[in-house]
Amino acid sequence: MSDGDDKEPTGPAGAPLLRVRDVHRRFGSGTATVHALRGVSFDVAAGTMVALVGRSGSGKTTLLNVVGGLDRPDAGSLHVDGTDVTALDEDGLSRLRRGRVAYVFQTFGLIPVLSAAENVGAPLRLARLPSAERERRVELLLELVGLADHARQRPAELSGGQQQRVAIARALAASPRLLIADEPTGQLDAETGLSVMALLRGVVESEGVTALVSTHDPVMMALADRVIRISDGRVDG
Ligand SMILES: Nc1ncnc2c1ncn2[C@@H]1O[C@H](COP(=O)(O)OP(=O)(O)O)[C@@H](O)[C@H]1O
Ligand SMILES: [Mg+2]
C-alpha cells in the first residue's frame, strides 16, 4: 500500500490522474438520510482542467471533499495518481493532502496574521524545506500569480482576487499533482473571477498540474478541457 507522501507519479504511464468508481456518500441516518453521492464514476486525464458543474446541493463539495481526502466515501473506490485513497489511514490521508493534492476554497482560507509570502510558504515550512529554498520558491510562486509586489501584505490588505491568487500560489507550493478548487470565484466579481480562472488555466499548463474545479460560471466551463455535470448526486460522465 502506498503511504501517500511520495510525489513521484506512481500510476502507470497514460493512466488517468484521477479515477472515481461508484462512489457513494450519505449523511445522517434513518428518515433524515441525505444521499449526497449516488454512485459517481469518472476519470480525469493528467494535465487537464475539468469543470464540475451543478446546482447548489447537487453534491459538488461532497465529491471534491472525498476526492481530496478531506472526507471518506461510504462505498466505491478513488485513485489519485495511482494511490487508492480509500485504503489510506488518517496519516496517509494527511500526507496526501500535504503533498499530492491541494485545495483552493471559495473563501480563500488564508491565515490572517501571516503575510502573503508567509501564507504561500506555510506548506513548505511544514515540509521542512530549507529557508533559502523556501524563499526562492515563494518568490517564484508570487511572481507566477502576479503578486511579487505584494509579498509583505496581509490578507486583509489585499483584494478578494489578490487573496485568491495567494491561495492558488500556496496550493501550488508543494507541487501537487491534483489541484481541487471549490467554487474559487464564488466570492469574486465577474471580471476578477475571470482573471482568477485564467490564472488557473495557465497554471494547469505551466505547472503540469491537473485541476478539478467546481463552478457555476459559464466562462470557467469554456476554459476547461471538459465539463462534468452533477445532478442530485449523479454525474453524466
Ligand atoms: N455534513 C453534512 N451533513 C448533512 N448533509 C450534508 C452535509 N454535507 C452536505 N450535505 C448535503 O448533501 C447534499 C450535497 O451537498 P453539497 O455537496 O454541499 O452540494 P453543492 O456543493 O453542490 O452545493 C445537500 O443536500 C447537502 O445538504
Ligand atoms: Mg458546495
pLDDT category, 13, cuts 50, 70, 90?
Answer: low
User: 87-126 pLDDT, tens per residue?
Assistant: 999 998 888 888 899 999 999 999 999 999 999 999 999 8
The count of C-alpha atoms lying within 13 angstroms of the C-alpha of 206, restricted to the half-sphere facing its C-beta, is 13
CA 64 / ligand 2 centre spacing (Å): 9
The count of C-alpha atoms lying within 13 angstroms of the C-alpha of 216, restricted to the half-sphere facing its C-beta, is 12
Using the CB atoms, write b or e for 131-164: b if 16+ within 10 Å: eeebeebbeebbebbebeebbebbbeebebbbbb
Per DSSP, the residues of 200-225 read: HHHHHHHS--EEEEEES-HHHHHHSS
pLDDT at 237: 55
pLDDT at 95: 86
From residue 8, how far is each of 83, 104, 159 by CA, in Å?
Answer: 11, 22, 35
Dihedral through CA 166, CA 170, CA 176, CA 181, nearest 10? -50
Say which DSSP state 181 is in: E
**Residue 9 scores a pLDDT above 60:** no
Cell of 200: 488557473
58 Cα nearest atom in ligand 1: 22
Low-confidence winner among 5-9, 25-29, 73-77, 110-114 (lowest mean pLDDT): 5-9
Mean pLDDT for the stretch of residues 155-170: 96
CA 83 / ligand 2 centre spacing (Å): 25
Residue 191 C-alpha from the chain's centroid:
22
pLDDT category, 12, cuts 50, 70, 90?
Answer: low
228 bridge partner residues: 52
pLDDT category, 2, cuts 50, 70, 90?
Answer: very low
Dist CA 85 CA 229 (whole Å): 23
Residue with the nearest Cα to atom 4 of ligand 1? 27
pLDDT at 235: 95
Widest Cα–Cα separation across the chain: 56
113 lines ligand 1 (CB under 6 A): no
CA 52 / ligand 1 centre spacing (Å): 15
Cell of 180: 481541487
pLDDT at 94: 86
233 Cα nearest atom in ligand 1: 14
Dist CA 106 CA 134 (whole Å): 26
Q: Which ligand is nearest to the CA of 52?
A: 1
Instruction: Give yes or no for a contact between 68 and 95, defined as CB atoms under 8 angstroms apart.
Output: no
pLDDT at 1: 43
75 bridge partner residues: 24
Q: Letter for the amino acid at 207?
A: E
What mean pLDDT, rounded, does the chain reach?
Answer: 91
pLDDT at 4: 47
Identify the CA nearest to 67 among candidates 107, 19, 99, 33.
19
Dist CA 30 CA 142 (whole Å): 49
Pairwise pLDDT comparison (220 vs 167), residue with the higher score: 167
User: 184-222 pLDDT, tens per residue?
Assistant: 999 999 999 999 999 999 999 999 999 999 998 888 889
**Residue 27 scores a pLDDT above 90:** yes
pLDDT category, 6, cuts 50, 70, 90?
Answer: very low
C-alpha R_g of the chain: 17
pLDDT category, 84, cuts 50, 70, 90?
Answer: very high
Main-chain dihedrals φ then ψ at residue 27, nearest 5 degrees: -115, 145
Dist CA 124 CA 134 (whole Å): 6
Mean pLDDT for the stretch of residues 65-88: 93
57 lines ligand 1 (CB under 6 A): yes
Q: Which ligand is nearest to the CA of 63?
A: 1
